[in-house]
A and B are shown apart, each in its own frame.
Chain A
Amino acid sequence: MEAILQFMILTFVACAGTGIIFIRNSLDQTIASGFYGGLLVLFFVIFQAPDDALSEVVINAGFITAVILLTYARIRRERK
């Protein structure tokens, strides 16, 4: 059972990680990478690393998306 879960989450993470690279729109990419972070949280929980899962969830949910969006807002205004 555990092996199946581990195999599934590894496949998901690999597919999602590859998929994000091929998104060309940077706003879409930001949002997708937020979901990818959620997937990584599951990954860490399944591999019995709750400490890392917590770090991942707070950094990803709290900060990476916000910081990238703020940068995106700045760059988009600059282009106009």
Chain B
Amino acid sequence: MNPQVRLLLFVTCIIPFAAFMMWGVFCMPRFGSSQHPYGDIASKITISNLSINNAVTAVTFDIRGFDTLGEEFILFTAVVGILLLLRLQKEEHENASLPPSRQNGRWFHANYSILYIGKRLLILIVLYGFYIALHTTVSPGGGFQGGVILSSAFLIYMFLYDFHAFERIPIWLFDLLEGAGMAGYLICGSLGWFTGRGFMHNVIPPTAKGTLLSGGLIPVINFSVLVAVFAGFIVLLIEFALQGLLSSRSKGAQ
């Protein structure tokens, strides 16, 4: 494809896109105005139909339906891509099986004061991760944020105590958890189809208001998102750490 054809293709694509974009932008409610048609509808459905308090959760896990599927698969695709790019090559396998050299075996010794604070923060971070994930129906947060916080607890553990912890934990388990979380999400979402409604239709009638389990199917979907995100980020972390460590074990570095 020569540059002129490419330019022509670009221009023919960008003109309709720009036109629709302008149309959309100029028809938006003004910044800071009190008239927001979608916002009003969403908060009405959130309170009366779903009986939960966090409108953001209601929009992502119920009202928006199929669009959230794409959002969930962004992380999944990113993890798969990184697994593909950073997988151990043939010569790297040999290096990875070498014992860690003495000076590089431990990258650093955690300072005593850091250890003192970090040890106490670690348990708080785990608790906070569960709190954020479970309180998705009543306060800001959700499975995604909670999952990232929980997996960052593992990061802190690695930096505080033992940088090689990631080599001992089984990566296949987290691959499996990631897939299980995504499968749970898909199954919960497609339950709506069996009742003749759209994707992610809330099949369990929401009852109690303002509790952790209100919102029918939403807590279940939220839990599967938590599992998928937690496992996905752990897999990312292991891959990056393994690559970071590998070059310290090549034969030249010994």
Q: Which residues of A contact B (CB under 8 A)?
A: 50-51, 53-55, 58-59, 61-63, 66-67, 70-71, 73-74, 77-78
Contact = CB atoms under 8 A, between A and B. Distances in A.
Nearest to A56: B145
Given A58-B145, A59-B148, A70-B243, 17 more contacts: A54-B140, A54-B141, A54-B145, A55-B144, A58-B149, A58-B152, A62-B151, A63-B148, A63-B155, A63-B236, A63-B237, A66-B155, A67-B237, A71-B240, A71-B243, A74-B244, A77-B247
Interface residues of B, number: 24
Contact of A51 (B141, B233, B236, B248): B141
A50 to B, nearest CB: 4
A58 B142 CA distance: 12
Interface in B212-254: 233, 236-237, 240-241, 243-244, 246-248, 253
A62 B56 contact: no
A64 to B, nearest CB: 11
B247 A74 contact: yes
Nearest to B155: A66
